[in-house]
Structure 1
Amino acid sequence: MQTASFTGFIKAIFYMIAFYYIFRFLAKLFLPLLVKKVVEKAGQNFQQQQQYQQQTTWKKTQSKDEIIYNIENTKNPRETKKVGDYVDYEEID
């Protein structure tokens, strides 16, 4: 059976501190590269989804051969809901 010693405790603390600083140093080096790769990959996925969406929309519009203009919405702006009339109250003493 082994017993704990003061020098073993100091070594363990030293290794923990060394590991912490080495990890911080490596994170400063490689974390920006890793984040850059993730952002680029997300951008590529976004572009692929956009292209797929545009292609499917283009295929749908090619098959119809008709153009529909909705003139009603362009001439009349959207009205707000009329809840009721405004009544101005005055206090009577």
Structure 2
Amino acid sequence: MIYFLSAAGLARMLLYIIGIYFVIKILSRLLSPFLIKYAAKKMEDRFGQQFNQQRQPQQPKHKEGETVIDKMPNTGNSSNKKVGEYIDYEEID
């Protein structure tokens, strides 16, 4: 089927588009305060959880007086001896 563009069809389509635009605009104005409150509440809860995690004292994983090594030293000392060319120079007065 081939549809032809008519003035009535074009006007009806423009009215639908304009109507949908205004309905979305009105609904967004009505619903945006609730969405913003919901988002603010979620952020407040998330920040509160992070704050409470930092405030709680962390339990030590080792006994008192025990020696603990947090980082193991590198055993492979791979230093590059070829660092460049050494040039002698003399200061000129």
| TM-score above 0.5, yes or no | yes
Listed as ranges, the gaps of 5+ residues in structure 2 are 63-93
For 1:59 and 1:33, locate their aligned partners in 2 and report how far apart those are by CA, in whole Å. Answer: 38
Q: Name 1:13's counterpart in structure 2.
A: 14
Identity %: 27
C-alpha RMSD of the superposition: 1.9
Q: Are 1:59 and 2:68 matched, yes or no?
A: no
Q: Are 1:42 and 2:62 matched, yes or no?
A: no
Q: Which structure 1 residue ranges, 4+ long, deviate > 6 Å from structure 2?
A: none
- Deviation, 1:60, is 5.6
For 1:59 and 1:45, locate their aligned partners in 2 and report how far apart those are by CA, in whole Å. Answer: 20
Larger Rg: 1 or 2?
2
For 1:31 and 1:10, locate their aligned partners in 2 and report how far apart those are by CA, in whole Å. Answer: 31
For 1:32 and 1:16, locate their aligned partners in 2 and report how far apart those are by CA, in whole Å. Answer: 25
For 2:6 and 2:52, locate their aligned partners in 1 and report how far apart those are by CA, in whole Å. Answer: 65
Matched length: 61
DSSP-derived class of the 1:59 partner: coil
Structure holding more helix per residue: 1
Q: Are 1:31 and 2:32 matched, yes or no?
A: yes
DSSP-derived class of the 1:42 partner: helix
**TM score, norm. by length of structure 1:** 0.60
For 2:54 and 2:35, locate their aligned partners in 1 and report how far apart those are by CA, in whole Å. Answer: 29
